[in-house]
Amino acid sequence: MIAHRGASAEAPEHTFAAYDLAMAQGADYLEHDLQLTADGQLVVLHDDVLDRTARGPAASCTGTVRTKTAAQLQDCEVGSWFDEAHPELADPSHADQRIPTMRQVLERYGEDARFYIETKAPEAQPGMEEALVALLDEFGLADDGTGRVVIQSFSPDSLRAIHALRPNLPLVLLVSATGPPIDDALLDDASTFATGIGPAATLVNGAVLTEASERCLLVHPYTVDDPLEMQRLLDLGVHGLFTNRPATMADQLDAHPGGDRPCA
């Protein structure tokens, strides 16, 4: 179970509040979207533009992340927007949530969590792969062979770059519902550098599972909050699922353990 931006249906996405809740609800992995700041720090935020979730001084909290320093981003709180959108889930502590750095995430959750990290728009943020590998090296996570870290991206080039740096890091190629089809060419290419694919859930059927498994690729669909869709995918034998609702998925996993690892 991969907690998409944390337990982001119940707490502000990519905050410690959402990650703490996801851990309490039994998530196997916390998911993190990476952005690179103007001073080369890795921060966790989905959007490359701050305006949707950040509140604070305009000079620090509007515009693109990569034009701000990490210190500027600490001026921004990223919880009150959630309470405005979901008043039934409002919590005074949300107003204190800040944009975490990836370093802060690793320091906070240490040995207690697994990390599923996406390189966001890496073509617009050169150096992201090297910065990420260096940080993982520092925490002993880049080559430990335990699968505690998985790197995902829609960019094959980004994943190839990481594979060249650390061949043992598990990598997952994301596949958009509006992107290239999941055909032999895509799967053959992915199998040269990735351990799995992360397709939009609507793309996943028995044929995709079969073709991926024949190439020893895991299948981790995103992002599934509906219990019936969870059941469908688990019955097919997927190897993991992204969800904004870890508690809901935990209930489904009790009855559907998921598929066996291909080529184990």
Which structural domains are found in the chain, ordered by start?
A: 2-47+102-255 (3.20.20.190)
* 10-53 per-position pLDDT tens digit: 999 999 999 999 999 999 999 999 999 999 999 999 999 999 99
144 pLDDT band, cuts 50/70/90, is: confident
Q: At 221, is the secondary structure helix, strand, or coil?
A: coil
Q: List phi, psi (to 5°) of 29.
A: -135, 145
Query: Which burial class, exposed, middle or buried, applies to 47 when counting CB atoms under 10 A from its CB (0-12, 13-18, 19+)?
Result: middle
Displacement of CA 89 from its chain's centroid (Å): 23
Q: Please give the full DSSP string across 8-67, using - where no structure is assigned.
A: TTTS-TTSHHHHHHHHHTT-SEEEEEEEE-TTS-EEE-S-SBSTTT-BS-HHHHSSBGGG
* 55-87 per-position pLDDT tens digit: 999 999 999 999 999 999 999 999 999 999 999
Residue 262: the pLDDT is 84
258 pLDDT band, cuts 50/70/90, is: low
Cβ atoms within 10 A of the Cβ of 243, count?
29
Average confidence (pLDDT) over 93-119:
96
Residue 29: the pLDDT is 98
Four-residue CA torsion sign, 249, 250, 253, 257 = positive
Active site residues: 4, 46
Q: List phi, psi (to 5°) of 123.
A: -65, -25
CA distances from 132 to 41, 125, 143 (A): 9, 12, 13
Residue 103 reports pLDDT greater than 80: yes
Displacement of CA 202 from its chain's centroid (Å): 18
Q: Which two tokens stand for residue 178?
A: 């509006």
Q: How far apart are CA 246 and CA 18, in angstroms?
A: 11
Share of the chain residues as helix, strand and coil, in percent rounded to the nearest 5: 40, 15, 40
Amino acid at the residue 122: P
Hey, which residues does 101 pair with through a beta bridge?
A: 43
